Copies of this chain bind each other. A is one copy, B any other.
Amino acid sequence: MFEDYAQLQSHVLCAQDFEVLAQTKIDDALFAYLSGGSGQEHSLKRNLDAFNEMTLTPNSLENVADGNSHWHYQEQRFSAPIILAPVAHQTLLHADGERACAQAAEALEQGMVLSTLSGYSLEDVADAANGWKAFQLYAQPRQQDSFDLIHRAHQAGYQAVVITVDAPVQQVSLQARHLGFKLPPEKPINLRPYDDLPTPKIKPDESYIFQGIMAQALNWKTLQNLMDYSRQLGLKVWVKGVLDPKQAQKLQTMGADALIVSNHGGRALDSAISSLEALPTIRQSVGPEMTLLLDSGIRSGQDIFKALASGADAVLVGRLQAYALGVAGALGVAHLLKLLTEELQLTMALCGCSNLQDIRMINLGDNNDV
């Protein structure tokens, strides 16, 4: 699509341009799968509205000549508070799939979370790049298999496990299904070592959802086991998919190292509140020290500023990552991270913020109902 980086740069002027280009480049059904949300897409829309309606007050007379957008997490320093979100099946988008994303993240000094449902094995992706990486875990029906995945991630050098708790049921968007989109039929590569559980027998009076899917779903008890196992290996444990302040406090008590405030990009519970709406209350409930990340709705570097101003330490970027990968592979993702960082830094400069801590201290004023 683009012959060199100069050409890419001249076409992709802001992060959202990747979405426009992706619509042209990516197959319609696949694009519908990527861009769509669950149900009637209420949450998908709400995610964007929440960011778009939030206002800022400029203050560009502060001296920010020694500014930076560094995010420090444990010993790691990221050039900006941006993590590539776990996006499944990336080889559908580009032959280099998750390896490309890992390389882009390393090059830009950002982090990456690899999906359980990756196109390349977690070991292959670890081999592709040396940057900070976490492994996203969908709890497996057999706890032992989850343990094994965690163990493999640890062996391969991942530094954290990100346990997703909001999507026991994964729904492909209605539009994608109407367009005939189907997920790849073969078993995801990371899961091939594990035998399938026999499909649960649903009795006539039982429910496919309660006695079927949910009988194998992650619950509080299993989650505690997975967290304990991960921490014994020295892995950090992040929990992804939190919107409820009480749930956040419980996860904090259970020992989570970070929480990801997310509605799964509008792909899990339709009508879920947006992450940005949920964030301030959750920050209040867990206190100022707990690491909080925001996922769902980030479409620009300014959105990252808004997330931090609302209480986040960093953000995850899903759809934009997928679009950039589909449009231009590793180079696309790298350019995306560069644009997001610049957009964030520009907003910081115009708001008089020298560093991420300054963002947390700004007064949002009365114009934000969020």
Instruction: Tell me the chain A residues, 320-370 only, with Cβ under 8 Å from chain B.
Output: 342-343, 345-351, 354, 365, 367
Instruction: Tell me the chain A residues, 46-74 only, with Cβ under 8 Å from chain B.
Output: 46, 52, 54-69
The interface residues of chain B lying within 8 Å CB-to-CB of A8 are: none
Q: Mask for A1-34, Cβ within 8 A of B = 1, else 0?
A: 0000000000001101100000000000000000
Minimum CB–CB distance from A254 to chain B (whole Å) comes to 10
Q: Chain B residue with minimal CB distance to A213?
A: B349
Q: Mask for A217-229, Cβ within 8 A of B = 1, else 0?
A: 1111101000000
Q: Given A13-B174, A300-B39, are A210 and B52 also a contact pair (CB < 8 Å)?
A: no
Q: Does B269 lie within 8 Å of A177, measured CB to CB?
A: no
A235 lies within 8 A of chain B by Cβ: no
A268 lies within 8 A of chain B by Cβ: yes
Minimum CB–CB distance from A122 to chain B (whole Å) comes to 24
The interface residues of chain B lying within 8 Å CB-to-CB of A68 are: 207, 210
The interface residues of chain B lying within 8 Å CB-to-CB of A367 are: 273, 277
Q: Chain B residue with minimal CB distance to A365?
A: B273
Q: Does A59 lie within 8 Å of B271, measured CB to CB?
A: no
The interface residues of chain B lying within 8 Å CB-to-CB of A277 are: 367
The interface residues of chain B lying within 8 Å CB-to-CB of A342 are: 208-209
**How far is A66 from B349 in the complex, measured between Cα atoms in Å?**
50
Minimum CB–CB distance from A71 to chain B (whole Å) comes to 14
A244 lies within 8 A of chain B by Cβ: yes
Q: Oligomeric state, in number of copies?
A: 4
CB-contact partner of A272 in B42, B58, B354, under 8 A: B58
Q: Does A62 lie within 8 Å of B219, measured CB to CB?
A: yes
Q: Chain B residue with minimal CB distance to A223?
A: B61
Minimum CB–CB distance from A336 to chain B (whole Å) comes to 15
Q: Does A60 lie within 8 Å of B300, measured CB to CB?
A: no
Q: Does A58 lie within 8 Å of B214, measured CB to CB?
A: no
CB-contact partner of A219 in B13, B63, B166, under 8 A: B63
Minimum CB–CB distance from A183 to chain B (whole Å) comes to 15
A243 lies within 8 A of chain B by Cβ: yes
The interface residues of chain B lying within 8 Å CB-to-CB of A62 are: 219-220
Q: Does B271 lie within 8 Å of A64, measured CB to CB?
A: no
Q: Does A220 lie within 8 Å of B64, measured CB to CB?
A: no
CB-contact partner of A350 in B208, B269, B349, under 8 A: B269
Most B-side CB within 10 Å, residue of A165, A247, A351 = A247
Minimum CB–CB distance from A253 to chain B (whole Å) comes to 13
Minimum CB–CB distance from A369 to chain B (whole Å) comes to 10
A296 lies within 8 A of chain B by Cβ: no
A270 lies within 8 A of chain B by Cβ: yes
CB-contact partner of A244 in B58, B208, B345, under 8 A: B58
The interface residues of chain B lying within 8 Å CB-to-CB of A218 are: 60-61
Q: Does A211 lie within 8 Å of B273, measured CB to CB?
A: no
A157 lies within 8 A of chain B by Cβ: no
Q: Closest 6 A-B residue pairs measured CB to CB? A: A67-B210, A58-B269, A209-B345, A269-B350, A65-B215, A63-B219
A55-B273, A169-B346 are known contacts; what are 13 more A-B pairs with Cβ within 8 Å? A17-B174, A40-B52, A54-B271, A55-B272, A57-B244, A208-B342, A209-B342, A210-B345, A210-B348, A210-B349, A214-B349, A268-B350, A270-B302
